[in-house]
Amino acid sequence: MHIPENVKLWESPGRAGGLPNCNYELIGRLQKQYGEKIAVISTGIAGERKYKGASVSFTDIFGDPSRNAARGGLGAVMGSKGLKAIIIDPSQVGQVDLAHPKEFREVVKSWIHTLKHDVSCSLYSRFGTPFAINNSANQGTLISNNYRSGTPDNFVTVSGNRIQEILFERGGKMHSCMPGCVVKCSIIYPDKDGKRLCSAYEYETIALLGTNLGIMNNDAIARLKYMCDDLGLDAIETGSSLGLAAEAGKMSFGDWESAARLLEEIEKETPLGFALGNGVVATATYLKVSRIPAYKGQAIPGCRRYPKLT
Protein backbone atom coordinates (compact mmCIF):
# COMPACT_ATOMS: atom_id res chain seq x y z
CA MET A 1 0.00 0.00 0.00
CA HIS A 2 1.44 3.37 -1.03
CA ILE A 3 1.32 5.95 1.75
CA PRO A 4 1.65 9.62 0.67
CA GLU A 5 4.37 11.61 2.41
CA ASN A 6 1.87 13.77 4.25
CA VAL A 7 0.10 10.76 5.79
CA LYS A 8 1.36 9.03 8.94
CA LEU A 9 0.07 5.77 10.35
CA TRP A 10 -0.15 4.83 14.01
CA GLU A 11 -0.41 1.21 15.01
CA SER A 12 -2.98 0.37 17.66
CA PRO A 13 -1.45 -0.01 21.13
CA GLY A 14 -4.41 -2.02 22.46
CA ARG A 15 -4.77 -1.80 26.22
CA ALA A 16 -1.08 -2.37 26.89
CA GLY A 17 -0.10 1.30 26.74
CA GLY A 18 1.11 3.80 24.17
CA LEU A 19 -1.49 6.08 22.59
CA PRO A 20 -4.79 6.66 24.39
CA ASN A 21 -7.62 4.31 23.47
CA CYS A 22 -10.40 6.91 23.35
CA ASN A 23 -10.70 9.33 20.45
CA TYR A 24 -10.74 12.72 22.17
CA GLU A 25 -7.60 12.16 24.22
CA LEU A 26 -5.92 10.59 21.21
CA ILE A 27 -6.66 13.59 18.98
CA GLY A 28 -5.44 15.98 21.68
CA ARG A 29 -2.14 14.12 21.92
CA LEU A 30 -1.65 14.02 18.15
CA GLN A 31 -2.51 17.71 17.75
CA LYS A 32 0.00 18.58 20.44
CA GLN A 33 2.71 16.65 18.61
CA TYR A 34 1.87 17.47 14.98
CA GLY A 35 -0.06 20.75 15.19
CA GLU A 36 -3.71 21.71 15.33
CA LYS A 37 -4.12 21.85 11.55
CA ILE A 38 -3.76 18.11 11.03
CA ALA A 39 -6.72 15.95 10.04
CA VAL A 40 -7.03 12.58 11.74
CA ILE A 41 -8.84 9.38 10.83
CA SER A 42 -8.98 7.16 13.90
CA THR A 43 -10.76 4.43 15.74
CA GLY A 44 -11.49 4.22 19.45
CA ILE A 45 -11.71 1.38 21.94
CA ALA A 46 -14.52 -0.22 19.95
CA GLY A 47 -12.36 -0.51 16.85
CA GLU A 48 -9.37 -1.84 18.77
CA ARG A 49 -11.58 -4.59 20.16
CA LYS A 50 -13.06 -5.21 16.71
CA TYR A 51 -16.63 -4.64 17.86
CA LYS A 52 -19.19 -4.91 15.07
CA GLY A 53 -20.59 -1.55 16.16
CA ALA A 54 -17.24 0.24 15.82
CA SER A 55 -16.92 3.37 13.69
CA VAL A 56 -14.10 5.18 11.94
CA SER A 57 -13.86 8.75 13.25
CA PHE A 58 -12.86 11.78 11.21
CA THR A 59 -11.94 15.18 12.64
CA ASP A 60 -14.01 18.11 11.41
CA ILE A 61 -12.62 21.54 10.48
CA PHE A 62 -12.20 22.29 14.21
CA GLY A 63 -10.28 19.07 14.88
CA ASP A 64 -13.22 17.40 16.65
CA PRO A 65 -13.44 13.60 16.00
CA SER A 66 -17.20 13.78 15.60
CA ARG A 67 -17.74 12.80 11.97
CA ASN A 68 -18.11 9.05 11.58
CA ALA A 69 -18.04 6.39 8.92
CA ALA A 70 -20.05 4.22 11.22
CA ARG A 71 -22.41 1.79 9.58
CA GLY A 72 -21.31 -1.83 9.28
CA GLY A 73 -18.55 -1.79 11.88
CA LEU A 74 -15.89 -0.13 9.74
CA GLY A 75 -13.82 0.64 12.83
CA ALA A 76 -13.36 -3.08 13.34
CA VAL A 77 -11.56 -3.23 9.99
CA MET A 78 -8.99 -0.72 11.24
CA GLY A 79 -8.73 -2.63 14.49
CA SER A 80 -8.15 -5.91 12.69
CA LYS A 81 -5.22 -4.31 10.84
CA GLY A 82 -3.70 -2.95 14.06
CA LEU A 83 -4.18 0.57 12.71
CA LYS A 84 -5.04 3.22 15.31
CA ALA A 85 -4.94 6.45 13.32
CA ILE A 86 -4.05 8.07 10.03
CA ILE A 87 -2.65 11.60 10.29
CA ILE A 88 -2.87 13.99 7.34
CA ASP A 89 -0.69 17.09 7.52
CA PRO A 90 -1.92 19.80 5.13
CA SER A 91 1.27 21.84 5.57
CA GLN A 92 3.06 19.34 3.34
CA VAL A 93 0.48 19.38 0.54
CA GLY A 94 0.04 21.76 -2.37
CA GLN A 95 -3.07 22.56 -4.36
CA VAL A 96 -4.53 19.80 -6.51
CA ASP A 97 -4.01 20.53 -10.19
CA LEU A 98 -7.27 20.62 -12.12
CA ALA A 99 -7.33 19.25 -15.66
CA HIS A 100 -10.02 21.73 -16.70
CA PRO A 101 -10.12 24.48 -14.06
CA LYS A 102 -12.52 26.80 -15.92
CA GLU A 103 -15.11 24.08 -16.54
CA PHE A 104 -14.75 22.79 -12.99
CA ARG A 105 -15.38 26.20 -11.45
CA GLU A 106 -18.42 26.74 -13.68
CA VAL A 107 -19.94 23.46 -12.47
CA VAL A 108 -19.18 24.32 -8.84
CA LYS A 109 -20.71 27.78 -9.25
CA SER A 110 -23.83 26.26 -10.77
CA TRP A 111 -24.23 23.78 -7.91
CA ILE A 112 -23.71 26.50 -5.30
CA HIS A 113 -26.49 28.53 -6.93
CA THR A 114 -28.78 25.49 -6.90
CA LEU A 115 -28.05 24.63 -3.27
CA LYS A 116 -28.56 28.19 -2.08
CA HIS A 117 -31.97 28.40 -3.77
CA ASP A 118 -33.23 24.91 -2.96
CA VAL A 119 -35.94 24.90 -0.26
CA SER A 120 -34.78 21.68 1.42
CA CYS A 121 -31.14 22.79 1.51
CA SER A 122 -32.14 26.15 2.97
CA LEU A 123 -33.94 24.31 5.77
CA TYR A 124 -30.83 22.23 6.43
CA SER A 125 -28.80 25.44 6.58
CA ARG A 126 -31.25 27.00 9.04
CA PHE A 127 -32.04 24.06 11.33
CA GLY A 128 -29.55 21.30 10.49
CA THR A 129 -30.83 17.77 9.98
CA PRO A 130 -33.07 18.02 13.10
CA PHE A 131 -35.52 20.03 10.99
CA ALA A 132 -36.79 16.60 9.89
CA ILE A 133 -37.91 15.71 13.44
CA ASN A 134 -41.37 17.25 13.08
CA ASN A 135 -41.97 15.81 9.64
CA SER A 136 -40.92 12.32 10.69
CA ALA A 137 -43.05 12.43 13.84
CA ASN A 138 -46.09 13.64 11.90
CA GLN A 139 -45.61 10.84 9.38
CA GLY A 140 -45.24 8.29 12.16
CA THR A 141 -41.65 7.40 11.28
CA LEU A 142 -39.71 8.96 14.19
CA ILE A 143 -38.81 5.88 16.22
CA SER A 144 -39.72 5.76 19.89
CA ASN A 145 -39.30 3.32 22.78
CA ASN A 146 -37.46 0.56 20.95
CA TYR A 147 -39.34 1.00 17.68
CA ARG A 148 -42.71 0.57 19.40
CA SER A 149 -44.01 3.87 18.06
CA GLY A 150 -43.31 6.33 15.26
CA THR A 151 -44.71 9.41 16.97
CA PRO A 152 -43.13 9.97 20.40
CA ASP A 153 -44.76 12.24 22.94
CA ASN A 154 -43.21 15.71 23.30
CA PHE A 155 -41.13 15.29 20.16
CA VAL A 156 -41.09 19.09 19.75
CA THR A 157 -38.59 19.26 22.65
CA VAL A 158 -35.95 17.75 20.35
CA SER A 159 -37.11 19.45 17.15
CA GLY A 160 -35.02 21.71 14.96
CA ASN A 161 -36.84 24.79 16.24
CA ARG A 162 -36.12 23.99 19.88
CA ILE A 163 -32.48 23.19 19.17
CA GLN A 164 -32.04 26.53 17.41
CA GLU A 165 -33.50 28.28 20.45
CA ILE A 166 -30.93 26.52 22.64
CA LEU A 167 -28.09 27.45 20.29
CA PHE A 168 -29.19 31.09 20.36
CA GLU A 169 -29.45 31.14 24.15
CA ARG A 170 -26.09 29.44 24.73
CA GLY A 171 -23.99 30.64 21.81
CA GLY A 172 -23.93 27.40 19.83
CA LYS A 173 -23.43 27.50 16.10
CA MET A 174 -23.84 25.83 12.74
CA HIS A 175 -20.79 25.18 10.59
CA SER A 176 -19.43 23.29 7.61
CA CYS A 177 -18.32 19.78 8.48
CA MET A 178 -15.61 20.19 5.83
CA PRO A 179 -14.05 23.05 3.85
CA GLY A 180 -16.09 24.17 0.87
CA CYS A 181 -19.52 23.06 2.08
CA VAL A 182 -22.10 25.80 1.42
CA VAL A 183 -24.99 24.14 3.27
CA LYS A 184 -23.31 24.35 6.71
CA CYS A 185 -25.80 22.12 8.51
CA SER A 186 -23.47 20.67 11.17
CA ILE A 187 -24.39 21.65 14.73
CA ILE A 188 -21.98 22.29 17.61
CA TYR A 189 -24.20 21.74 20.62
CA PRO A 190 -23.16 23.61 23.82
CA ASP A 191 -23.98 23.18 27.49
CA LYS A 192 -25.53 25.91 29.65
CA ASP A 193 -22.11 27.57 30.03
CA GLY A 194 -21.56 27.69 26.28
CA LYS A 195 -18.99 24.89 26.27
CA ARG A 196 -19.24 22.18 23.62
CA LEU A 197 -21.13 19.07 24.67
CA CYS A 198 -20.78 17.43 21.28
CA SER A 199 -20.39 18.21 17.62
CA ALA A 200 -22.34 16.89 14.65
CA TYR A 201 -25.62 16.87 16.58
CA GLU A 202 -27.72 15.19 13.91
CA TYR A 203 -31.16 13.72 13.27
CA GLU A 204 -30.04 10.08 13.57
CA THR A 205 -28.35 10.80 16.88
CA ILE A 206 -31.55 12.33 18.24
CA ALA A 207 -33.67 9.44 16.95
CA LEU A 208 -31.55 6.52 18.18
CA LEU A 209 -29.97 7.92 21.36
CA GLY A 210 -32.98 10.08 22.12
CA THR A 211 -36.54 9.25 21.14
CA ASN A 212 -35.89 5.53 20.71
CA LEU A 213 -34.74 5.44 24.34
CA GLY A 214 -37.54 7.72 25.54
CA ILE A 215 -34.96 10.46 26.21
CA MET A 216 -36.33 13.87 25.23
CA ASN A 217 -33.63 16.10 26.70
CA ASN A 218 -31.17 17.55 24.20
CA ASP A 219 -28.37 17.96 26.75
CA ALA A 220 -28.66 14.29 27.71
CA ILE A 221 -28.69 13.11 24.08
CA ALA A 222 -25.63 15.27 23.34
CA ARG A 223 -23.74 13.71 26.26
CA LEU A 224 -24.53 10.21 25.00
CA LYS A 225 -23.43 11.21 21.52
CA TYR A 226 -20.11 12.49 22.89
CA MET A 227 -19.56 9.17 24.67
CA CYS A 228 -20.21 7.23 21.46
CA ASP A 229 -17.77 9.46 19.55
CA ASP A 230 -15.13 9.02 22.23
CA LEU A 231 -15.45 5.23 22.30
CA GLY A 232 -15.68 5.06 18.51
CA LEU A 233 -19.20 3.60 18.31
CA ASP A 234 -21.87 3.84 15.63
CA ALA A 235 -24.61 5.84 17.37
CA ILE A 236 -27.31 4.15 15.27
CA GLU A 237 -26.24 0.60 16.09
CA THR A 238 -25.54 1.51 19.71
CA GLY A 239 -28.83 3.36 20.22
CA SER A 240 -30.72 0.41 18.80
CA SER A 241 -28.83 -1.96 21.12
CA LEU A 242 -29.62 0.25 24.11
CA GLY A 243 -33.29 0.16 23.14
CA LEU A 244 -33.23 -3.63 23.42
CA ALA A 245 -31.44 -3.37 26.74
CA ALA A 246 -34.14 -1.00 28.00
CA GLU A 247 -36.89 -3.39 26.95
CA ALA A 248 -35.05 -6.21 28.74
CA GLY A 249 -34.89 -4.14 31.93
CA LYS A 250 -31.17 -3.31 31.80
CA MET A 251 -31.89 0.43 31.73
CA SER A 252 -34.95 2.62 32.10
CA PHE A 253 -36.63 4.34 29.16
CA GLY A 254 -36.26 8.09 29.59
CA ASP A 255 -33.30 7.79 32.00
CA TRP A 256 -30.19 8.99 30.20
CA GLU A 257 -27.91 8.21 33.14
CA SER A 258 -28.82 4.53 32.97
CA ALA A 259 -28.02 4.65 29.25
CA ALA A 260 -24.64 6.25 30.06
CA ARG A 261 -23.90 3.46 32.53
CA LEU A 262 -24.48 0.92 29.76
CA LEU A 263 -22.00 2.78 27.55
CA GLU A 264 -19.54 2.49 30.42
CA GLU A 265 -20.23 -1.27 30.39
CA ILE A 266 -18.96 -1.25 26.80
CA GLU A 267 -15.78 0.55 27.89
CA LYS A 268 -15.26 -1.91 30.75
CA GLU A 269 -15.90 -4.83 28.36
CA THR A 270 -18.27 -6.65 30.67
CA PRO A 271 -20.29 -9.48 29.07
CA LEU A 272 -23.24 -7.12 28.57
CA GLY A 273 -20.92 -4.39 27.32
CA PHE A 274 -19.34 -6.82 24.85
CA ALA A 275 -22.79 -7.67 23.47
CA LEU A 276 -23.82 -4.01 23.22
CA GLY A 277 -20.59 -3.09 21.44
CA ASN A 278 -21.21 -5.81 18.87
CA GLY A 279 -24.58 -4.43 17.89
CA VAL A 280 -28.26 -5.12 18.05
CA VAL A 281 -28.20 -8.77 16.92
CA ALA A 282 -25.49 -9.69 19.45
CA THR A 283 -27.41 -7.80 22.14
CA ALA A 284 -30.64 -9.60 21.31
CA THR A 285 -28.85 -12.95 21.45
CA TYR A 286 -27.24 -12.14 24.81
CA LEU A 287 -30.49 -10.87 26.33
CA LYS A 288 -32.57 -13.63 24.70
CA VAL A 289 -34.82 -11.11 22.95
CA SER A 290 -36.69 -12.38 19.88
CA ARG A 291 -37.94 -9.04 18.52
CA ILE A 292 -34.82 -7.68 16.79
CA PRO A 293 -34.89 -4.25 15.07
CA ALA A 294 -32.39 -5.19 12.37
CA TYR A 295 -32.24 -5.95 8.67
CA LYS A 296 -29.58 -8.32 7.35
CA GLY A 297 -27.82 -8.09 10.70
CA GLN A 298 -27.70 -4.29 10.86
CA ALA A 299 -29.78 -2.04 13.12
CA ILE A 300 -32.66 -0.19 11.49
CA PRO A 301 -31.90 3.55 11.40
CA GLY A 302 -34.32 6.32 12.23
CA CYS A 303 -34.53 8.17 8.92
CA ARG A 304 -36.92 6.03 6.91
CA ARG A 305 -39.99 3.88 7.19
CA TYR A 306 -39.31 0.54 8.81
CA PRO A 307 -41.11 -2.80 8.75
CA LYS A 308 -43.49 -3.63 11.54
CA LEU A 309 -41.63 -5.75 14.07
CA THR A 310 -43.37 -8.61 15.82
**pLDDT for residue 285:** 97
Strand 298-299 to strand 67-69: parallel, antiparallel, or no bridges (unpaired)?
A: unpaired
Counted domains in the chain: 2
Give the pLDDT score at 9. 54
Q: Please give the DSSP secondary-structure letter assigned to residue 17.
A: S
pLDDT of residue 18: 55
Dist CA 293 CA 310 (whole Å): 10
**pLDDT at res. 163:** 96
Residues 159, 225, single domain; the answer is yes
The reply to whether 191 falls in a domain is yes
DSSP alpha helices (H): ranges in 232-300? Answer: 235-247, 256-268, 271-277, 280-287
Note down pLDDT in tens along the chain; length 310 residues: 344 555 555 555 444 345 678 999 999 999 999 999 999 999 999 999 999 999 999 999 899 999 999 999 999 999 999 999 999 998 877 788 899 999 999 999 999 999 888 888 888 889 999 999 998 999 899 999 999 999 998 999 999 999 999 999 999 989 888 888 888 899 999 999 999 999 999 999 999 999 999 999 999 999 999 999 999 999 999 999 999 999 999 999 999 999 999 999 999 999 999 999 999 999 999 999 999 999 999 999 986 555 455 4
Domain shared by 61 and 140, yes or no? no
Please give the residue range of the domain that contains residue 11: 7-91
Q: What is the signed CA dihedral for 275, 278, 280, 285, rounded to 10 degrees?
A: -40
How many Cβ atoms sit within 10 Å of the Cβ of residue 119? Answer: 6
In this structure, the answer to whether residues 38 and 118 fall within a common structural domain is no
Q: How far is 102 from 136, CA to CA, in rounded Å?
A: 42
Q: Ramachandran region of residue 201, left (φ > 0), alpha (ψ -120 to 50) or beta?
A: beta
- Per-residue pLDDT at 6: 57
- Residues 155, 186: one domain? yes
Q: Is residue 2 part of a domain?
A: no
Is the domain of 154 the same as that of 273?
yes
Kindly give, in sequence order, each residue whose CB lies less than 8 Å from that of residue 53, ignoring residues fewer than 6 positions away.
46, 73, 233, 234, 237, 238, 241, 276, 277, 278, 279
Domain CATH number, residue 186: 1.10.569.10
Whether 223 and 198 have beta carbons less than 8 Å apart is answered as yes
Helix (H) or strand (E) holding 84: strand 83-88
Write out the E strands in 106-248: 173-175, 186-190, 196-199
CATH of the domain at 29: 3.60.9.10
Residues 6+ positions from 290 with CB-CB distance below 8 Å:
284
